Structure 1
């Protein structure tokens, strides 16, 4: 489907812009209302990661006595619907419904990282079965990026258990402080050397900025032509990146981010820290 009129009506965005000038809720709503029914169903998979984070936050508050963080938006499911997940899971996508059903009696004995890894595995499996080129390419890229970061963290912090990542045998041996990745690895991940350098500086906000830049550059290469659904989907992910940084740069969220950094560096949390 051609989305000429929709794309022409969207504001221009860039990583350097001031995101406070954007009305995110209005733009997300504009995009969703103008999609075909088929593309709306696919669009939801760009929003489900926020629902995943919201569900994990609710589960960790209930079973791990953690304070629930802010509710992430845009989200497909409202906070009250998500809090009542036992009654409402029939409304959730299959990956989330099946995860809750299969693990209902196990959450109390799971760490947040175990919860996250299990839920993300089901999400990725469902995405890769959709046969949508953009979603498969984007989430395969994102999973690879997260695997590199998890491998680096595992080789940096003694208190982390071995992560469940793709290509673990190769990445866990080669990605970490004072390790030199083989040429084949750097070919597969051309941004790897710079990523390792940024991670080694131990500055979480700088790291997040770099990760988002890598994602943005990837998204720039993914459009299948002007005014295509993939262009709308890439724009949606970029919009979420800008929205996230507006929140991180706020005083409240900046203080939370600094507190989290302190806890990670000083290993003050008894539970496992989830990988980025």
Structure 2
């Protein structure tokens, strides 16, 4: 007011507090038009506070903290990619680089889970067999009697052993039998062992004293023989699964 020219000016508040007006204006003019400087503390604001997260923060976090793959998801992607490449290119024609590229992950991640290509193939075979047997067991649960369970399971074994995916895997094992004989043997043993475990109880319920031996007969008749015929180019014979199950059950009664 005009009558109070000799009194003290009120204190300035805000960003220019305790700074002479002229100096504050000059300081602000130097920064005019420039983006605000983000301090270290601002960059590390807790992400739990939605108001504290900006697009720039997200960009920084995305660069320094890439999202981590779930372990099971990463393994599944590796094995699915490897299975595709092994069927298409063969074992020797598939590289670890190609597996990593198709699985959309780094070689470092791939080697963290598998030391070499042989370990990848072994895991591919184990997963392939496990998935097949899981489907077969679900099919068997729908049957009413133990003999019907055996018939459905053996029929499913035959169907899944003679489709294109199974034949491609078996051709791969045959092609690599010289270089990887133990792997081919282990895959065959794995299939037989799972078949025996799956068929054991219904065979026991049917009065079979040696269910593992009976399961081996069924596995030879329903899986190995038809698969071999297809691999060598011989026409596959029609299988009367119920008759085969009945024949084996009758044949092993005295054993």
* Higher Rg of the two aligned structures: 2
TM-score by length of 1: 0.25
TM-score (norm 2): 0.27
